[in-house]
Amino acid sequence: MANGAGFWPARGPGGGNQPGAEQLFSVRLVVNGASRNVSVPARRLLSDCIRHDLRLTGTHVGCEHGVCGACTVLLDGAPVRSCLMLAVTADGAAITTVEGLARPDGTLSAVQQAFADCHGLQCGFCTPGFLTTITAALAAKPDPTPDEAREIIGGNLCRCTGYQNIVRAVLRAAELLRAGEHGRERSAAPHAGRADPGQGEAGRADPGQADPGQAHPGQGEAAS
Ligand code: FES
Ligand code: FES
Each residue of 7-63: pLDDT tens digit? 444 444 444 456 678 999 999 999 999 999 999 999 999 999 999 999 999 999 999
Specify the ligand 1 atom closest to the Cα of 157: 4
CB 159, CB 174: distance < 8 Å: no
Confidence check: pLDDT of 199 > 70: no
- Examine domains 25-100 and 101-190 and report if their fold is the same: no
CB 102, CB 108: distance < 8 Å: yes
Verify whether ligand 1 is closer than 6 Å to residue 10 (CB atom): no
Cα 25 from Cα 34, distance rounded (Å):
20
Which protein residue has the closest C-alpha to ligand 2 atom 4?
158
Instruction: Just give the CATH number of 25-100.
Output: 3.10.20.30
Cα 142 from Cα 135, distance rounded (Å):
10
Judged by DSSP in three states, 179 sits in coil
Each residue of 30-42: pLDDT tens digit? 999 999 999 999 9
Verify whether ligand 1 is closer than 6 Å to residue 81 (CB atom): yes
Cα–Cα distances (Å) from 21 to 9, 18, 49, 86, 186, in that order, read: 6, 5, 18, 19, 45
Name the percent of the chain lying above pLDDT 90. 70
Cα 185 from Cα 173, distance rounded (Å):
10
Residue-wise DSSP of 98-149: GGGSS-TTSPPPHHHHHHHHHT--SS-SSHHHHHHHHHHHHHH-SS--HHHH
Specify the ligand 1 atom closest to the Cα of 63: 4
Verify whether ligand 2 is closer than 6 Å to residue 10 (CB atom): no
Verify whether ligand 1 is closer than 6 Å to residue 1 (CB atom): no
Nearest ligand for residue 85 CA = 1
Q: What is the pTM of this model?
A: 0.78
For residue 141, report the distance from its CA to the centre of ligand 1, in Å: 24
Domain 101-190 classification at class level: mainly alpha
Listed by start position, the domains of the chain span 25-100, 101-190
Confidence check: pLDDT of 70 > 60: yes
Name the percent of the chain lying above pLDDT 70. 71
Query: Which of 74, 79, 46 minimizes the C-alpha distance to 61?
Result: 46
